[in-house]
Amino acid sequence: MGTPNAVARDYYGILGVSRGASDDEIKRAYRKLARQYHPDVNPDPEAQEKFKEINAAYEVLSDDQKRQIVDLGGDPLAPGGGGAPGGAGPFVGFQDIMDAFFGGAGGGAGRGPRPRTRPGSDAIIRLELDLNETAFGVEAPITVDTAVLCTTCSGAGTAAGTHPATCDACGGRGEVQSVQRTFLGQVMTARPCTVCSGHGSTIPNPCGTCAGDGRVRTRRSLTVKIPAGVEDGMRIRLAQQGEVGPGGGTPGDLYVEIHERPHDVYSRKGDDLHCRVTVPMTAAALGTRLTIKTLDSEEAVEVKAGTQPGSTLRLRARGVPHLRGTGRGDLYVHLDVRTPTKLDGAQEQILRDFAKSRGEEVAELSKQGGFFSRMRDAFNGHG
Ligand SMILES: [Zn+2]
Ligand SMILES: [Zn+2]
């Protein structure tokens, strides 16, 4: 076998297995090396060469005919060496590379049956909280409706004393192969078995509680600890409190999404709070003392004489505690100055006298029919 100048490669040595290695040993050795030298994992150009070698060795040793050629001292991949032309092309052993990386468990051609037990999915619930609760934290009782492990069959899905049966349709492989003729020749395709949904087995006597799913839906009550300073829209993750997977698989996580109810007095921006307080014009002019209700208690604050409409008082560290680190946001009190709307005769006179004392001009609107009627008169030339 082989051309005279071709030295047969040591395929057993490349995979590091003995000449008597079983198919399984060869496969294991190949997967291990392929993981180590795959170009996606190992960018070293030498690793690339090594990866090609490993693939070639596996192609040869996993094929009975080619392995026989090797055992007889030949090289099935050498030019004219009696092997298939093309050698270790890019598609050689592709499925096995997939297997090596995606954990397939099947033989040479297939991926094998799909396990019945699969991880569960995550779940999410909304939790409505008041500002006091998001600000200072709370232990909130929640009720979740998720799939949980079926305790009757412990997730197996089978009725007591029974077992799954190998699927007749696929013989337990979980997939059905078919041969199609194309211009490239015969192409083997495999699709999941529809009888067993790819599991390779059926459950002839399903558990009466879960109908074979290994899990049941139920309502559970649990308590979630909400830390101080959470914000609207944040999610708290409770590991493995989500849905149990089919066949009793590991539960997913449960996410609790915080929704903060609007507050009567405060609006929240990050950890700062804002509120509006109305003060009479006279208080704004003369100064006053206000009692502000904070999240914690009540606090007296001073409004300075001559305060303008729209001014803001800042109460440091009276906002929401920071979720990360220490300290708190601030409380901003926005001051609205209210102008009196109904004045009796005496009050009006006082204000007029006050304006006069400051040299401010005040028109006598009430006696002239108001501002707009004066405007009209002015335009009509009656003014
Ligand atoms: Zn089947
Ligand atoms: Zn069950």
Q: Is 2 left (phi over 0), alpha (psi -120 to 50) or beta?
A: left
Confidence of residue 39 (pLDDT cuts 50, 70, 90): confident
> What's the confidence (pLDDT) of residue 376?
60
- Tell how far the Cα of 256 is from the centroid of ligand 2, in angstroms: 28
Contact 124, 146 (CB under 8 A): no
DSSP class of residue 26 equals H
Residue 218 CA, distance from chain mean position: 24
Helix then strand then coil, % of the chain, to nearest 5: 25, 25, 50
Ligand nearest to the CA of 156: 2
pLDDT, position 370: 54
Nearest ligand by distance to the CA of 248: 2
Ligand nearest to C-alpha 211: 2
Rg, Å, the chain Cα set: 41
Helix axes 45-61, 64-71, angle to 10 degrees: 100
Q: Which residues neighbour ligand 2 (ion) by CB within 5 Å?
A: 150, 152-153, 207, 209-210
For ligand 2, the distance from its centroid to the CA atom of residue 100, given in whole angstroms, is 34
Beta partners for 267? 274
* pLDDT of the residue at 366: 57
Question: What pLDDT score was predicted for residue 85?
Answer: 38
pTM of the model: 0.60
Q: What CA–CA distance (Å, rounded) separates 104 from 91?
A: 18
Q: Which ligand has the nearest atom to the CA of 174?
A: 1
Confidence at residue 130, expressed as pLDDT on a 0 to 100 scale? 97
Mean local confidence (pLDDT), 181-191:
76
Ligand nearest to the backbone CA of 212: 2
pLDDT > 70 in the chain, percent: 84
Query: Which ligand sits nearest to residue 207's alpha carbon?
Result: 2
Residue 58 gets the label, from left (phi > 0), alpha (psi -120 to 50) or beta, of alpha
Give pLDDT, residue 187: 76
Q: How confident is the model at residue 83 (pLDDT cuts 50, 70, 90)?
A: very low
Structure tokens that stand for 318 in this block:
């009276």
pLDDT tens digits, residue range 238-257?
999 999 999 999 999 999 99
Least confident of 33-42, 46-55, 120-129, 264-273: 33-42
pLDDT confidence of residue 101: 43
Ligand 2 centroid distance, CA of 218 (Å) = 13
* pLDDT the model gives residue 47: 84
Contacts of 64 (CB under 8 A, 6+ apart): none
**DSSP code, position 309:** T
Residue 60, token pair as written in the block:
């040869």
Dist. CA 203 → ligand 1 center (Å): 11
Ligand 1 centroid to Cα of residue 191, in Å, is 10
pLDDT of residue 123: 94
Tell me the DSSP string of 202-225: E-SSB-TTTTTSSEEEEEEEEEEE
Distance from the CA of 155 to the center of ligand 1, in angstroms? 20
Per-residue model confidence as pLDDT tens digits over 289-343:
999 999 999 999 999 999 999 999 999 999 999 999 899 999 999 999 999 998 9
Instruction: Give the ligand at the shortest distance from the Cα of 214.
Output: 2
pLDDT class for 265, splitting at 50, 70, 90?
Answer: very high
CA neighbours closer than 13 Å in the CB half-sphere of residue 30: 29
- Alpha carbon of 127 to ligand 2 centroid (Å): 31
pLDDT of residue 263: 96
Q: Say what the pLDDT of residue 383 is.
A: 41
Mean pLDDT of the chain: 85
Distance 374 CA to ligand 1 centre (A): 95
The length of the chain in residues reads 383
User: Which ligand is closest in space to the CA of residue 165?
Assistant: 1
For residue 216, the CA-to-ligand 2 centroid distance in Å is 8
Separation CA 312–CA 306 (nearest Å) = 13
In the block, tokens 């009006």 appear at: 348
Phi-psi region of 234 (alpha: psi -120 to 50; beta: other; left: phi over 0): beta
Whether the predicted pLDDT of 226 surpasses 60: yes
Between the CA of 297 and the centroid of ligand 1 the distance, in Å, is: 69
Write out the residues surrounding ion ligand 1, Cβ under 5 A: 167, 169-170, 193, 195-196
**pLDDT reading at 380 higher than 70:** no
Q: At what angle do helices 94-102 and 23-37 cross, to 10 degrees?
A: 80
Q: Which pLDDT belongs to residue 72?
A: 80
Q: Relative to the alpha carbon of 213, which ligand is closest?
A: 2
Give the distance (Å) from ligand 2 centre to CA of residue 205: 11
Q: Is 240 exposed, middle or buried (0-12, 13-18, 19+ CB in 10 A)?
A: exposed
Dihedrals phi, psi of 182, to nearest 5 degrees = -130, 180
Q: Which residues of 84-95 are buried (b: 16+ CB within 10 A; e: fewer)?
A: eeebbeeebbeb
Q: What is the mean pLDDT of residues 221-240?
A: 95
Is residue 159 a contact partner of residue 208, using CB atoms and an 8 Å limit? yes
Q: Which ligand lies nearest the alpha carbon of 113?
A: 1
List phi, psi (to 5°) of 109: -95, -30
Rounded percentage of the chain residues whose pLDDT exceeds 90: 63
- Condensed to tens digits (0 to 9), the pLDDT of residues 87-144 reads 333 333 444 444 444 334 333 344 678 899 999 999 999 999 999 999 999 999 999 9
Ligand nearest to the CA of 155: 2
Res. 6: pLDDT tops 70: no
Tokens of 353: 């006298």
